[in-house]
Amino acid sequence: MQQNDEIDVVIESFSNLGYGIARVDGLVVFVEGACPEDIVKIRITRLTKSYAHAKVLKVIKPSPYRIEPFCALQKVCGACQLQFIDYNYQLELKKQIVEDAIKTIAGLDIKINDPVPSPKIREYRYKIQYPVSETKVSRRILAGYYKTGTHEIVNIKHCPIQPEICDRIIDFIRSHAFDYGIAGFNEKKHTGDLRHVVIRTSAATGKNLVVLVVNSTKMFDRLKDFAEAIYKEFKEVSGVCVNYNSKKTNVILGEKSECIVGKDFIKERIIDKTFRIGANTFFQVNPESAENIFLYVKDFIQSNFDNPVILDAYAGITAFGICVSDVCKKVVSVEENKQSCELARATLEANEIENVEIHNMDAAKFFAKEKRKFDAVILDPPRKGCTQNSLDEALRLCKGKIIYVSCNPATLARDLKYLTEKGAQVESIQPFDMFCHTYHIENVAIVDCVQNT
């Protein structure tokens, strides 16, 4: 087998990154755009001593789980890798990804529950982050997602996984940026004005917060005029903010944001609580699926503890802590982002919640100085997971259960392995489908710390 060879293969299984897996002469081949039980003609695009990558040239015999994507751009846009696979089978594959990670990385033989499906599989994504560039000759603005494995933007006019209002806002920006002298970003030359457009939409109110990420360190008049034009055009827009990011980085948002017109937040409602979400705030992109997770955690706490004291770490806007507060004696929240803490305090006031204590600091530093013991510790770290030091401190502070919420099965498995080596015991793992049509899957693991004490 050589690079660019064309070969007919049967897709035997599925990888944790959403590739079909075939074998040719004993070598594993990861096939983009393939479904288990497909028979396909592939082209080898990369070859190493231990594995190969390939793309589908032709579907010879489709898998019974292969369907027609509902988005015309699915094959070129990198956002929905699995949209050509039946949704119920997507859930089976995601469960398999979790099972494989827990077994191979954590070394645990534990039953993985069936994933809780997303309440909606279209128009479910209430946060979009479009990179922006422009064409070389006409200077026409391009905005959309990247093609898989590239930084080439697919210019998306309609995306069926996000609210329709987002399409209209993006189209206005694309059509009128030139009128205000706003240039698209050139990543190679690090020139131009508009790097990204971020839109947060409220499922509860339909209002939108638009964030223009610019290659600048300060406001300029034509940008201010453009922001005001967007706000004036759409009654659904509650505010337009500018985020300054002039660094040579792949990180989307810079550290500083400024509200130009309207409000610098939207309101979202989860369970019976109203939250404020700002430009730099972490909040789940699929609020209806997020509500299922919050309810699951709340029900677990209510069923297993009587008037507990809970630690909510990596708390963001303290969504977990606020949602469970009415079944707790006290919630102690820890979050290092200042804006998130300010929004959390505003949410507490708006919901008349008085038993949540907020600490604006790094979780590891808080752990190190904290002396209190907690009935349960909620860990909701970023995709990279927790440090070993943070896990040690969580075990030290927890006298009951750790509720570990993770969007990455691999780092979850790694951290669960460490916790079990320290004497804790994994009781259950419940997946939730937050990101339909992708290989990503959210999980809530319940870890018993009593064995460790």
**Catalytic sites, residue numbers:** 407
d(CA 207, CA 80): 25
Q: Using a CB cutoff of 8 Å and minimum separation of 24, what contacts does 154-161 make? A: 154/73, 154/76, 154/77, 154/78, 156/73, 156/77, 156/130, 159/71, 159/79, 159/128, 160/70, 160/71, 160/122, 160/123, 161/71, 161/79, 161/80, 161/122, 161/123, 161/124, 161/125, 161/436, 161/437
- What are the distances in angstroms from CA 249 to CA 21, 146, 188, 199, 245? 33, 16, 11, 20, 9
3-state SS string for the chain: CCCCCEEEEECCEECCCCCEEEEECCEEEEEECCCCCCEEEEEEEEECCCEEEEEEEEEEECCCCECCCCCCCCCCCCCCCCCCECHHHHHHHHHHHHHHHHHHCCCCCCCECCCECCCCCCCCCCEEEEEEEECCCCCCEEEEEECCCCCCEEECCCCCCCCHHHHHHHHHHHHHCHHHCCCECECCCCECCEEEEEEEECCCCCCEEEEEEECCCCCCHHHHHHHHHHHHHCCCEEEEEEEECCCCCCCCCCCEEEEEEECCEEEEEECCEEEEEECCCCCCCCHHHHHHHHHHHHHHHHHHCCCCEEEEECCCCCHHHHHHHHHCCEEEEEECCHHHHHHHHHHHHHCCCCCEEEEECCHHHHHHHCCCCEEEEEECCCCCCCCHHHHHHHHHHEEEEEEEEECCHHHHHHHHHHHHHCCCEEEEEEEECCCCCCCCCEEEEEEECHHHC
16's tokens:
């944790």
Tell me which residue has tokens 């005001």.
Answer: 228
